[in-house]
Amino acid sequence: MKTQAEKAEAFRALHARPQAFIIPNPWDIGTARLLEHLGFEALATTSAGYAFSVGKPDNAADRLAVMQHVADLASASDLPVSADLGNGFGDDPQAASKAISLAAQAGAVGGSIEDDSGRRDHPIYEQAHAAERVKAAVEAARALPFPFTLTARAENYLCGKPDLKDTIQRLQLYQSMGADVLYAPGIVKREDIATLVRAVDRPVNVLTAIPGATLSLQELSALSVRRVSVGSALSRLAVTAVLRAAQEMRDKGTFTFAENALNFSEINKLFTARR
């Protein structure tokens, strides 16, 4: 197995390449190992995907449970893992700092802190406060004995505020605080992505596999995007498949859903190879 420092260096190197790479989002050990088997070069956790897997809505899992989940995925393969840490499990900068330290202890070599407060009445932190939270997270990352990749997220678009100007201002501010990667999930238009990339000088992550996101990896790479993630999409696809199969059994008493499933021996062989 690779050391955490080796994984950290490999993760940094991916962001320095001239073309974009896909960082898919598994939600358990099994899916992490399947993605490694398919040749992906890094993994990112998904807060929603993990929450769904334990029967909870997004952001309902507590910090202890999330850190154990990060540890499970980080130890499941030789791939670098970046942790989706939400708002850091608290409003104050110290919460963001602690989340980064704990994620690193769990084996992650990267992690994201977002400016979504989680409150319906005021979902986005004020810029100054959000920047202080990123600064604290960066300081925690820099205190580690390996190059932890800190991603700062601007959540305007996911919170119903499609304000490109404010989003760019926020990411520029987070950049000035020392963030290594910048991420504004929900931006899907080609021209908006291009404008964002031109406005900053750090690698940009783009979320795809969401409504309105039609650009391919090649097209995103041509816009100088450096990292592409799919968020909860893989986990939602799995939940959808189970729901559709269960509905067929309940409503029709038939089992045709199994015709589209991989056979037992094929899946069993994949996991047997990991022993």
**Could you give the number of structural domains in the chain?**
1
pLDDT, tens digit, for every residue of 203-236? 999 999 999 999 999 999 999 999 999 999 999 9
Kindly state whether residue 51 falls inside one of the protein's structural domains: yes
Query: What is the longest distance spanned by two Cα atoms in the chain?
Result: 59
pLDDT, tens digit, for every residue of 242-265? 999 999 999 999 999 999 999 999
Kindly state whether residue 201 falls inside one of the protein's structural domains: yes
Q: What is the pLDDT of residue 248?
A: 98
Band of pLDDT at residue 274, cut at 50, 70 and 90: low
Residue 91: Cβ-neighbour burial (10 angstroms; 0-12, 13-18, 19+): middle
List 4's β-bridge partners, or say none. Answer: none
Domain that holds residue 30: 4-231
Dig out the tokens for 123 from the structure.
Answer: 């979902």
Kindly state whether residue 125 falls inside one of the protein's structural domains: yes
Kindly state whether residue 69 falls inside one of the protein's structural domains: yes
Kindly state whether residue 186 falls inside one of the protein's structural domains: yes
CATH number at residue 26: 3.20.20.60
Q: What is the pLDDT of residue 273?
A: 64
Backbone angles phi, psi at 80, to 5 degrees: -65, 145
pLDDT, tens digit, for every residue of 85-128? 999 999 999 999 999 999 999 999 999 999 999 998 999 999 99
Kindly state whether residue 253 falls inside one of the protein's structural domains: no
Kindly state whether residue 160 falls inside one of the protein's structural domains: yes
pLDDT, tens digit, for every residue of 90-99? 999 999 999 9
Kindly state whether residue 149 falls inside one of the protein's structural domains: yes
The mean pLDDT of the chain is 97
